[in-house]
């Protein structure tokens, strides 16, 4: 009986580790999709904002505020999407999405000629993105 029970336990452990690996793989894939969703939303909103700037007499002084709002909206939507798909720990995945999104934006803005500055404003942006992601993740889990 012990030999048979040991064999069954080995098969169970092997099957459960495969399931665990597949869940991790799915979670990572959902996180990647969420970041791409945030990037696409940001790109669309920035294009719309650029068109509005060129057509209307809106001041360029609003640019920093509008880009912050666009960033936060993108993070909320991505956090909602991710936490609805994963269905657990929405707060954690929301924070992760917020931080990763801000870090992904750095090389993208460098391509457009902006040099990043790692000062108190960057830390504030990182904290705000984490907080917005946290809220979006919590809301997303509770919506499912």
State the Cα–Cα distance between residues 55 and 127, nearest whole angstrom: 34
Per-residue pLDDT of the chain (144 residues), as tens digits, is 455 555 665 655 565 555 555 567 689 999 999 999 999 999 999 999 989 888 988 877 888 899 999 999 999 999 999 999 998 899 999 999 999 999 999 898 888 888 888 889 999 999 999 999 999 999 999 985
What pLDDT score does 21 carry?
54
Residue that is written with structure tokens 């504030």 in the block:
124
Do the beta carbons of residue 119 and residue 73 sit within 8 Å?
no
What pLDDT score does 4 carry?
53
Cα separations (Å) of 62 from 47, 67, 136? 15, 9, 25
Whether 4 maps to a domain, the answer reads: no
What pLDDT score does 41 carry?
97
Q: Domain limits at 80?
A: 22-143
State the Cα–Cα distance between residues 74 and 65, nearest whole angstrom: 14
Residue that is written with structure tokens 């459960």 in the block:
16
Whether 7 maps to a domain, the answer reads: no
Residues near 82 by beta carbon (within 8 Å), at least 6 away in sequence: 30, 31, 33, 34, 90, 93, 94, 97, 137, 140
Whether 12 maps to a domain, the answer reads: no
Whether 10 maps to a domain, the answer reads: no
Whether 43 maps to a domain, the answer reads: yes
Structural domain total, the chain: 1
Whether 132 maps to a domain, the answer reads: yes
Whether 96 maps to a domain, the answer reads: yes
What pLDDT score does 110 carry?
85
Tokens of 28: 């990572």
H/E stretch holding 20 reads helix 2-55
Whether 135 maps to a domain, the answer reads: yes
What pLDDT score does 57 carry?
85
State the Cα–Cα distance between residues 139 and 87, nearest whole angstrom: 11
């Amino acid at each position: 009986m012990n030999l048979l029970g040991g064999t069954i336990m080995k098969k169970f452990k092997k099957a459960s580790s495969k399931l665990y690996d597949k869940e991790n793989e799915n979670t990572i894939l959902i996180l990647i999709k969420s970041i791409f969703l945030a990037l696409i939303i940001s790109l669309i909103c920035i294009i719309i904002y650029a068109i509005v700037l060129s057509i209307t007499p809106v001041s360029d002084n609003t640019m920093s505020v509008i880009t912050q709002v666009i960033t936060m909206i993108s993070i909320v939507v991505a956090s909602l999407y991710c936490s609805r798909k994963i269905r657990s720990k929405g707060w954690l995945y929301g924070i992760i999405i917020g931080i990763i999104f801000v870090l992904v934006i750095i090389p993208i803005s460098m391509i457009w000629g902006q040099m990043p500055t790692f000062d108190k404003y960057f830390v504030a942006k990182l904290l705000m993105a984490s907080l917005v992601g946290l809220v979006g993740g919590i809301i997303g889990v509770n919506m499912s």
